[in-house]
Structure 1
Amino acid sequence: MPVAPSLSRPRTWQLWRNPARFLALVLGVDLVTLVWVADEITRPAGDRRDWLVALLLLAVAVVFEEGATHVARLKWRLSSQLKRDMTSVWSVAAAVALPPVPGVTLVVIIYVHLWWRQQRPGGQPAHRAVYVGATVVLACLTAGYAVRAVDGAWTGLPWALASSIAVLIAIVIGTTLNRALVTAALMSLGNHGRSLLGTLDDNLTELSTLCLGGLVAIAAIHEPWLCALAVLPMAMLQRGSFVRELETAAVTDPKTGLINAVGWEHIAQRELGRARRENYGLSVLIADIDHFKLVNDRHGHLVGDQVLRGLARALGGALREYDSVGRFGGEEFVAVLPETDVPAAIEIAERIRARVNTLSVGSVSSVADERLLSVSIGVATVSAGDLADTELTAMLISADRALYRAKEAGRNRVCLADPDAPAPVVPA
């Protein structure tokens, strides 16, 4: 059987295209893990029961991963920088319930299967899969060593509390080491800030997975066959977290991180209904970047995307906590402002305009480019008494007309929708 070209020529491996600090970390961790595993192999490898429990856990893990393959492949293609999976269930169980050699064997086989069936089709490079697997094995060995070091200290505690303490030790030590090594690798590739922490949903999913791992570990110690009961909760947890990611992606603008037009309209309709029920005024504003084509022509589309993100941040900083802003398309942004009359809406719009005037994004700044970065804003406000006969589409049309008046008047200004103008005709 011919060898794949990428494997037959090590010099062409994608691994070598990474920064030197990343290479040093990856190769160092891989080497330490390999040496530790080789040392453990020379020691007693556990009794027959240990290997049978490892085999049972492996069978349950393979059944779960095969059933989740389609969802997992999609998740690998679509999810964020931090890729969460369910393997913590098995690594915690291996650290607590098994000696080092059966435990490491279990983890390695699961990770090889995971990469071959899910990560490889999802585009995960082999060297990253090896590194992540090495961090899990290293965390498993470290946690197992800590558990065995204190073994017997709580033997006399009631209600099998000793097993629970062992699980907590394994979770804390293993997770801390694994997270630290993965974070170090991401930082060596230039990732910084909140992306290293993951979202709240990411971390809650990981914590839930660790809790399931603790339960599986205790079951493996006392009633191994009960480990099979973890499959359904794991499947539901994985699907639930993925659905949440898809829901977020469906209403999020990828360039700015704001909600998209569909998501914003849903929120605005809800705010309009609430304003009617609670009898207060409501405003809608549309902001459009002035001369955005000139920004793209002078500085390129990548800088144009940076300007869009900069404006998104400026909008977020100028609005109130309960206002909702989204990207309407192109260089247009839209916001709904609950509990506002005309003076309040104009004040918010002017605050946005002033903030954009001081904005500097990369090589583009308002001062250096003669206010190249500015926005024109159209505002439509409806008082509480008129909301019953007002639809969101009509407010948007009025705000859009005001926006065009701002453009015609010289740009970089705020215009209010003409209250004396005839009500716009909403297309059927």
Structure 2
Amino acid sequence: MPVAPDDASTPGDPASPASTSVNDERAAKKSERKLNIVHPREWALWSQPRRIVSYHLGFETVALVVMIWACVTAPAPGSRDWFRFAALALCATLHIQLSRRQEERRRSKRTKPQVYVDLTGIWSFPGVLVLPIHLALLLIVVSRAQRWFVARRQPHRFVFAAFSMMLAATIAHEVVDLLGDRGWVSFGAMGSLGSFKEFAVMVVAGLIYGGLQALFIGVVLALADSQATVRTLLGSKEDNELEAVTIALGVVAAVLAVNLPAALVIMVAIGVIGNRIAEVRQLQVDVRTDPKTGLLNMRGWREVAEREMHRANRDDLPCALLMVDLDHFKSINDTWGHPAGDDVLEYVAHALRSATRPSDVIGRFGGEEFVLLLPDADATEAEAAGERIRQTISELHVPTTDKRGGPVAISNRTTSIGVAVYPAHAEALDSLLQAADAAVYEAKEGGRNQVRLAS
């Protein structure tokens, strides 16, 4: 953890020519610093729709009230609490500074607001478990203040992410206080035999801490994008796995902070390595993903499709391949410009996800073509899926801009879809692709806006 909406667009001077000179690099850094210290009156928040502005302001007001109430009603920290806070804050600082480059590279690859997992939860979650609420919140502030310099995020997004973490930490902290005392971390053979309740409390606290942040952030993303999918709102499987590991490491750090503070240095090393592993995993995902649509590119799609074909052959099951081609797509680029075409592709990608099953493998074939592999689907089911996709795309209403930046809406788009089924039409993936592609051409020659089964 934490989960936060990322906005990784790197600011720069649009009037400057592209260059790798030292002066240009200095100008870019200066522009980035200017963004980071922009006056609140100039925040991009105020240009957002009213529903988003209202949610931001309302949420942050409620969060502030809850945090103040929790701090006022909590007992004052003792000297032992301050020692634990200092140990966690020092280790968090070491982790953040040693992993700064990896974090910058990870964030720079994010091209739009989306779920982002920050490994500093290794240090903020222990505060929920072992520190008074005052110091738990202060620990988050210390970590977030250092992340500010590498966040590359609009200020209002950064502030909202910080408030979501602090409110989730406050609620999780109160639940821990409600469900049990904080003597759970003492070692001892006899004590460990009865530690199931304490472990259950930690699990509940972790679910609350991570789940609430996902909820708070998911609402923002849903308000900003009505076409957002569950994956967009809650993160990918890899994101959630990383979040779970971060909270688990936070539990270990909490135990060490109470019983063996010097060993927290080991957690620093683990955190730095974790950042590097997360960067490598992101690179692996990027290699297999189409940047415009978020779907699999052909390399990634082939890998998954080949496995599904192998499974179908092994278990003697059918599977179907659909080739989806947007009719007259070139006219969109010619009439409204390439950015409008990109928006249409993104909306079509959302439509394909919503009109298919979670098990279906969706990829961008290239240009305006998409390809889908439907496991365990025969010809009848595949044609029905194709018709559902055709209808869904025809109902899309895509808000975008024209060549001069003026608002336009693109709708009533038609689609030609070719369907080929294994093993009836082909027994190898490449042959199945060729059969579906031929069916697409038959659909276009037959008047477009239709689904054709391979002959």
CA distance in 1, matches of 2:262, 2:210: 26
Q: Is the 8 A contact 1:378 1:401 kept in 2?
A: no
1:85 to 102, 110, 118: 118
CA deviation map 1:322-350 (0-9, x unaligned): 7644322112234557899xxx6598458
Q: Which has the larger radius of gyration?
A: 1
1:114 matched residue in structure 2: 147
1:330 to 354, 360, 367: 367
- Show structure 1 runs of 5+ residues with no match: 419-428
Distance 1:374 1:141, change over 3 A: closer
TM-score (norm 2): 0.67
Residue identity over aligned pairs, in percent, reads 30
Partner AA of 1:263 in structure 2: G
Shift in Å, 1:215? 1.9
Q: How do 1:295-310 and structure 2 match up within 5 A?
A: 295-297=332-334, 304-305=341-342, 308=345
2:41 matched residue in structure 1: 11
What root-mean-square deviation, in Å, do the aligned CA atoms of Structure 1 and Structure 2 show? 4.7
80-89 or 232-241, which moves further after superposition?
232-241
Partner AA of 1:291 in structure 2: H
CA distance in 1, matches of 2:448, 2:93: 62
Distance 1:246 1:102, change over 3 A: same
Shift in Å, 1:85? 0.9
Larger relative contact order, structure 1 or 2 (CA cutoff 8 Å, min sep 6)? 2
1:361 to 393, 396, 399: 396
Q: How do 1:398-413 and structure 2 match up within 5 A?
A: 400=437, 403-404=440-441, 407-408=444-445, 410-412=447-449
Q: Does 1:221 align with 2:258?
A: yes
Distance 1:85 1:263, change over 3 A: same
2:159 matched residue in structure 1: 130
2:131 matched residue in structure 1: 98
Q: Is the 8 A contact 2:362 2:372 kept in 1?
A: yes
1:373 matched residue in structure 2: 414
1:51 to 82, 85, 100: 82
Shift in Å, 1:373? 1.0
1:421 matched residue in structure 2: none
Structure 2 SS opposite 1:258: coil
2:329 to 292, 296, 302: 292
CA deviation map 1:12-68 (0-9, x unaligned): 244444443045235515743774598589x74421x43333222222222222222
1:352 to 354, 376, 386: 386
TM-score (norm 1): 0.70
Shift in Å, 1:108? 1.9
Q: How do 1:108-187 and structure 2 match up within 5 A?
A: 108-116=141-149, 118-119=150-151, 123-148=152-177, 158-159=191-192, 161=195, 164=199, 167-168=202-203, 170-175=205-210, 177-186=212-221
Aligned residues: 399
- Show structure 2 runs of 5+ residues with no match: 1-32, 400-409
Partner AA of 1:95 in structure 2: V
Shift in Å, 1:301? 5.3
CA deviation map 1:258-306 (0-9, x unaligned): 3222223344555666778788998766443332234555676566556
